A = this chain, B = another copy of it.
Amino acid sequence: MSHNTFGHLFRVTTWGESHGPAIGCVVDGCPPGIRFTQADIQAELDRRRPGQSRFVTQRREPDEVKILSGVLPDEDGETLITTGTPVSMLIENVDQRSKDYGEIAKRYRPGHADYTYETKYGLRDYRGGGRSSARETATRVAAGALARKVVPGMTVRAALVAMGEKEIDRANWTWDFIGDAENPFFTPDPKSVTVFTEYLDGIRKAGSSVGAVIEVVAEGVPAGLGAPVYAKLDQEICANLMSINAVKGVEIGNGFEAARITGEDNADEMRMGNDGTPRFLSNNAGGILGGISTGEPIVARFAVKPTSSILTPRQSIDRDGNEVDVLTKGRHDPCVGIRAVPIAEAMVACAIADHYLRHRGQTGRI
């Protein structure tokens, strides 16, 4: 019932604004005995970190995670072991440029949460968007790094599959290319880099912005996770992805395409695999049937809108009801969708880890 918590047994509470002293999260319900290092968490945070190419905001934060509780150091002095108690992680805000917020404090930026936020609470932290700041997502990535360790054998990977009008060629899909130093887009298609570079440079120079589509794939998820009605695994994955800033749509498996085809074409047929376990001959379902995992890869896709911070003036009003024009100067991503890639992995990992524990709790079948 919290506005700032997600998950049930693997439960993540996040806090903090971009212009306070720090942001952080508390991961409660983590099983005891999980071994990890601070570097495991940091590696994920570094993937999300701004300031790594000209296509992501130039705010430079080291984003160094501090682990404050819930772990015992192992004898090697580096490995941490979860104790089953809350893991509190904190990231300091070090790059809070002082500036004059006078105008922004009063004006509602179109496409931003300024107006709704203030309508809800009667006041807002105008210094950077408050909780609506993308900076909050760093804490999700930290939590997700732990979640990955909860489900044995699970891997969760994501990729940018479209940017504005440009799409990747799925025939070129290469997971290993995503972490490549020459790939500032998390695209799985090596050939797409030059296309995206040229396209996004144009967008950036025009002071414009553009949206993106991200695909997340979780492999090694055992069959049986989820529930048939209101704790559907796909439902909770979608909810977790929808909670990411600027996401406007989510789909599982073939998604909206399923609405256009027939039952014969859509059904994933089954056969016995060589290893004596059931397997599916296709995966239109995206690894989930009736809200419960099939054992096939779980596939989700989501749309990120273009960032609303653009250099073209847009009509708006201020808090006194005056009609004004607003343009947003400063550090902004021409395509916020790029950075959503590691965030999406984290959110999907958390959803699955939660269901893994819930399934074990109710059924004892893991």
Chain A contacts to B: CB under 8 angstroms: 1-6, 8-9, 11, 13-17, 20-24, 26, 28-29, 31-33, 66, 68-70, 72, 81, 83-88, 90, 108, 110-113, 115-117, 119-125, 130-132, 136, 162, 164-165, 203, 208-213, 223-232, 234-236, 238-239, 242-243, 245, 248-264, 266-272, 276, 278, 281, 285-286, 288-295, 303-310, 312, 314-317, 321, 323, 337, 357-366
Q: Is the CB of B33 within 8 A of A13?
A: no
Interface residue from B21, B260, B263, B366 paired with A68 (Cβ < 8 Å)? B21
Q: How far is the CA of A146 from the CA of B69 in the complex (A)?
A: 23
User: Chain B contacts of A357 at CB under 8 A?
Assistant: 361-362
A4 adjacent to B20 (CB under 8 Å) = no
Contact of A211 with B24 in the complex, beta carbons under 8 Å: no
> 9 nearest interchain CB pairs?
A113-B290, A361-B361, A249-B251, A116-B292, A209-B263, A211-B259, A258-B305, A249-B255, A15-B86
Bound state CA distance, A314 and B31, in angstroms? 33
Number of copies: 4
What separation, in Å, do the CA atoms of A263 and B164 have in the docked complex? 10
The 24 listed contacts between A and B (C-beta, < 8 Å) are A1-B8, A4-B28, A5-B11, A14-B230, A15-B26, A15-B28, A16-B86, A21-B66, A21-B68, A22-B88, A33-B121, A83-B130, A84-B363, A86-B131, A116-B288, A120-B359, A120-B365, A242-B250, A249-B255, A249-B259, A263-B309, A263-B310, A269-B316, A276-B321
Q: How far is the CA of A264 from the CA of B262 in the complex (A)?
A: 38
Are B256 and A365 touching (Cβ within 8 A)? no
| A315 and B228 form a contact (CB under 8 A) | no
Measured CB to CB, the closest approach of chain B to A331, in angstroms, equals 15
Q: How far is the CA of A16 from the CA of B90 in the complex (A)?
A: 12
| Least distance between A19 CB and chain B CB atoms (Å) | 10
* With A223-B116, A290-B117, A363-B31: A230-B211 Cβ-Cβ less than 8 Å: no
Contact between B363 and A303, CB atoms less than 8 A apart: no
